[in-house]
Structure formats: C-alpha cells, structure tokens
Amino acid sequence: MKKIRLIRPFRAYSTGAVLDVPGGQAHELITRGYAVEEKQQDLLDTAALEPEVRTADATPKKRSRKK
C-alpha cells in the first residue's frame, strides 16, 4: 500500500484527498498526472489527562438581618 495525494479530481475523490492504494494503482495514478506521492508522515494524536480538581460543595448561609 502506498499513500498518494490527488492533484486533480478522480472519480468520487476531490483534489487534495490522501488515499492509501496498492502500489500498481498508485503508480498508474501518478504517471497519468492525477496524483503525487505523499511524503508527509502521519501525525499521532495524543491526549493528556487533566488533574482532578476538588471544589467545596458548601454554600455560605445567609446572615440574618439585625432588627
């Protein structure tokens, strides 16, 4: 499998789409001018956990009015 980027629309795919196709088909699309070899590596998605935050649940009581 080879990654290619389309530089012209091809069938249902639009310009700029990145496809993972078999080597023969990739070579054919490149030689016909529909695609170029994709050289950019895949980026990994990472996530970080946020530290647990504790908050006070007690709400202050209203002061009684002095008479």
Buried/exposed 30-63: b ≥16 CB within 10 Å, e otherwise: eeeebbeebeeeeeeeeeeeeeeeeeeeeeeeee
d(CA 13, CA 35): 11
| pLDDT score recorded for residue 62 | 75
pLDDT in tens, 20-66: 999 999 999 999 999 999 988 777 667 777 777 777 766 767 777 77
| pLDDT score recorded for residue 7 | 96
| pLDDT score recorded for residue 39 | 87
Length of the chain: 67
Q: Where are the domains of the chain?
A: 2-37
